[in-house]
Every structure is written in structure tokens, then in C-alpha cells.
Structure 1
């Protein structure tokens, strides 16, 4: 089988151990591509949910096995734990079964652009959102994901392909949109202050790519609601992909082209 070649792949918010995880689509993506670098950008395993509601499906085991196989084939795999798999942060600096564990990473693109890679939850601390509202938001998120799962089960029975219904709900709630935009601004501001060309993260389950005053904000989305990943091509161009029965490019950032300096005029 011919695999799609990428220089780098960024995957986050898989939430293995959660009933809403779209494991089948992710497994299909992993088996359909090859890359030099695979970044697991947090919340790959949802230890937090499993402590409350134990759940594990055979497809979740298959994803773990596929990631181990990717590492065994020579791909550099970097696991950056998020808030739902934070227990793994104590293992930062170690290498397990060929997988590096790190708190964050610096990725240098093929075109020379430098990106900070982190899960993104470190930017939550700058928000003044009350604890009760965060709890309510988590409950609503669970409700929306459950509704998304049940509706898509019905759609599949009717022969209709997967639809990320939850994104339509989120983008129509003013407070949710403000939260997303504020998060994006904080991430971009920090990357700019630290001298990076961009920041790659996940966390908020909202895939997006946009330029913010010369800083490229890249969110690879999730595999619970939207089934999205970020890929880097051989020339450094970045692309957001939606991967279900439909495979759609959601955004594309061209590689930086080096412009030669003008030759000095002869004396």
C-alpha cells in the first residue's frame, strides 16, 4: 500500500479511553501515511476520564500498537502530555519504546520557520474564568460530544458520512467564540514574545490556522469531534486535514520562500 508522505505530522486530543473518541478514523489516517516526525501533542490517553468512567475499546489498543509500529519503523515520535494525560509529565526526558516524552518541543520546519509545540493548556492559567463556569463548560462539552456521537451513529445507519455537528454548535455561541479567540491571541502573543515564527497546539478542540502579526497560529484540532490533523509537507508548507469518509483540506500555509539578496553593483 502506498502511504501519503509527510515530513511531519501533529496529532492531539485523541482521548483514548473516552467513548467519544473517533478511533477508527484516526487509525485509518495513521495507516495511510508515513512521516519523518510524529508529534503527539497531548490528551492522547484520557486518564482523567478513565478514573471517573472506565472505558477502553479494541480500536484504542490498535492505535497504541500503530504508534509503536511507526516508532519502530524509524519515525521520530515525540509525546507531549496534555492536561488529561498529565500523569505522564513526570516522565519528561525519558524515552519509552522509542517514544520521546517532553513537556514541549521546538520544531524547525523544512523552510526554516521555528515553532513552539505544546498542548496549550498552559495558557488556561491566564484566564479569569471562575471554577464553577469551567465545570459547567466541561459538562456541556460532554453533552455535546455525546449528542455528536449519537447523531452520527444515526447518520451512518442512513448512509450519510460523518459530520462534526458540535462545531456548528460552538461557532454559534458567542461566549464559546470569544473563549477561542482569546486563547488564540494569548498563544500567538507568547510565541511572538519568545521569538518563534509560530505555535502548534491543540487543547481547545478547534482546528484553525491563521497568521497573527507575523506569527502563525496552528491548532491541530482533535479526534473526538472534528477528526483533524496538522501535516507538514517536504517544503515546509503546513496543511490542516479533516479525515473521515471525506478527506478535506481545511487550511494551507505556504512554505517560506527565501528571496536572494540583490547583487551589489559593480564599481
Structure 2
């Protein structure tokens, strides 16, 4: 089967390095597409919750796949988020087809798009980082409990159930937070004449025209690869939400050239050839990969 050719694909909130990450499903998706641009819109690597004893081979395969795409025909743009904010000190960085940025603006068929993670709107992160981290650990525990519940439900022949979605939808403050987030993003986009505003962060995939009386914009959220397993795709002047559980392509699971490896193998394999790269680029990529490797040391 041929890969689907896209102008742009956007994924966010993968949270590599956590129990909730669906790395194999993400590999299935990445292997099914051939985008001109792949935007990683924050929280791809969860440095906040990086565990020295937990970073499965499937998570490493995702990193290898992203780097492999960047060495071919895909421009890979890593927009930093709050869970991978340690990478913000490297922005802006350009290394061939791979970029690290804090935000991105694009012109798409005569329209302006604004892409950023979205944590800048979150006061709990800006003003109480420790509390936000504590909430992240709680969310991870909830995901583990949910996996146990869904295993039992599947054994009983019943449908899966999302505890976190139930909590989010049932707690008035959570619903208000999401609505406030979407309104803030929409208002600022309209104020700055953006036709599209593309976010992540809140794990709520959405495509909706937002109008505040002063203008309108298309609000887009790429969702996540913890619960919703969603992405945004742009082709033929249109945006759509890709939903893995509905749209997955079974033949695409893992590239044959992506094999079992540890972090040291990945680093040695992906470091650029020093005879072909500027010294500044070499230093930057070594720093980034070393930063991740340090999180794994006992």
C-alpha cells in the first residue's frame, strides 16, 4: 500500500517515556503517511516524568522514525511544550530538515496559520510548576488504572471506558478550563488576523469555527496519543482530524529498518557526520540527545 501524501500532519502530546503513551499506534500512523511537513506540537517527550527504569523500545522507535523522516523528504518541526520545556533553550535551531521552535506561523494557500503548544495560557504551569507536575503524575496513575479496567472490560466482551474523559466531562472546572482555553486561543488569533490557530496541550481534539463578533478563525487541536490517538492533517486546502481508532491502516506497523535498540545505539546512529555539518549544529544535536540520555542513567 502506498503512503498517504499530505501537505502537513500535526501531532502533539505523545508523552514518550510515560505509561500512557501509545507508541506502537503512533508508529502505525507515521508509517502510513508521507507529509511534506510534520509538526510535533509539544509534549512529544515527557521530560517531566522521565523514569530511569521506563523507556520501552517502542518509544525509542518513535524517536528513530521521526529522525528518519527528517533525513528524507519530510520537514520535521518540533514545537516545544511544557513537558519538554527543557528543549526551549535550543530554540530556534535549524538542522537540515529538522527544526526546534517555540511557535510557528505558516501561509497555507493564501491563509495564515498560527501553531503553538498552548501551555502559555495555563496559569497553573506558569505560576505553580510543582503543582502542575504533581497533576501529571496523578494523570499517569489514572491511565494505568484505566488500562487495568479496560483489560477487564475486554475480557467481559464490553467496550473500553475512559476514566479521565469521564472526570474531565463531569468536573465543571475542567469543562470551563477547556472552553476558556479555546476562547483565548481564538480571540488572540482573530486579533492577529490568523485564519487558523493550531494547538495541543489540553488533549481535546477539535475542529471548529470560532467567532467572537470581531471576526472568525478556525480553531484546531491535535488531541493526544495517550487517550484519543488523534492528529491533524492538511491537504487540498482543508483540515481534518485523523482518529486512529476509526482510520487506522492495518498494514502499516513498523518499518523494517527500525529495529530494537537502546538509547546509546540511537544516539550513535543519529549523530550527524562531522565532515558534512557545521560545528554549531553538531554541538546542538549532541546536547539534545545527551540531555535525553542523562535522564536514563542510574
Q: Give the TM interval when normalised to the shorter protein.
A: 0.7 to 0.9
**CA–CA distance in 1 between the matches of 2:69 and 2:204?**
26
Work out whether residues 16 and 46 of structure 1, in 8 Å CA contact, stay in contact via their aligned partners in 2: yes
**CA–CA distance in 2 between the matches of 1:122 and 1:3?**
35
Gaps of 5+ in 1: 249-267
2:147 to 146, 149, 157: 149
Q: Which moved more, 1:221-230 or 1:170-179?
A: 170-179
Matched, 1:224 2:226: yes
Work out whether residues 207 and 221 of structure 2, in 8 Å CA contact, stay in contact via their aligned partners in 1: yes
Q: State the Cα deviation string for residues 204-230 of structure 1 (Å, max 9, x = none).
A: 111111111111111100001111111
Aligned match of 1:173? 171
Q: State the Cα deviation string for residues 69-109 of structure 1 (Å, max 9, x = none).
A: 21122111100110111111111122347311111101222
Q: State the Cα deviation string for residues 4-32 of structure 1 (Å, max 9, x = none).
A: 22110000000001111011111100011
**CA–CA distance in 2 between the matches of 1:16 and 1:144?**
17
Work out whether residues 148 and 225 of structure 1, in 8 Å CA contact, stay in contact via their aligned partners in 2: no
**CA–CA distance in 2 between the matches of 1:154 and 1:191?**
44
1:141/1:181 CA distance change after superposition, 3 Å: same
Work out whether residues 167 and 226 of structure 1, in 8 Å CA contact, stay in contact via their aligned partners in 2: no
Aligned match of 1:64? 63
**CA–CA distance in 2 between the matches of 1:132 and 1:187?**
25
TM-score norm. by structure 2 comes to: 0.74
Number of residues paired by the alignment? 244
**CA–CA distance in 1 between the matches of 2:59 and 2:228?**
17
1:132/1:15 CA distance change after superposition, 3 Å: closer
Question: SS at the partner of 2:82?
Answer: coil
**CA–CA distance in 2 between the matches of 1:229 and 1:35?**
12
Report the Cα offset of residue 115 of structure 1. 1.2
Question: SS at the partner of 1:49?
Answer: coil
Report the Cα offset of residue 162 of structure 1. 5.9
Question: SS at the partner of 1:226?
Answer: coil
For the aligned residues, what is the CA RMSD?
A: 2.6
1:126/1:224 CA distance change after superposition, 3 Å: closer
**CA–CA distance in 1 between the matches of 2:36 and 2:178?**
31
Aligned match of 1:236? 237
1:183 to 181, 184, 194: 181
**CA–CA distance in 2 between the matches of 1:92 and 1:123?**
20
Residue pairs, 1:85-124, within 5 angstroms: 85-96=84-95, 98-110=97-109, 112-124=110-122
Gaps of 5+ in 2: 249-298
**CA–CA distance in 1 between the matches of 2:66 and 2:126?**
37
1:32/1:154 CA distance change after superposition, 3 Å: farther
Work out whether residues 190 and 217 of structure 2, in 8 Å CA contact, stay in contact via their aligned partners in 1: yes
1:68/1:134 CA distance change after superposition, 3 Å: closer
Q: Which moved more, 1:147-156 or 1:195-204?
A: 147-156
1:69/1:159 CA distance change after superposition, 3 Å: farther
TM-score norm. by structure 1 comes to: 0.82
Matched, 1:42 2:42: yes
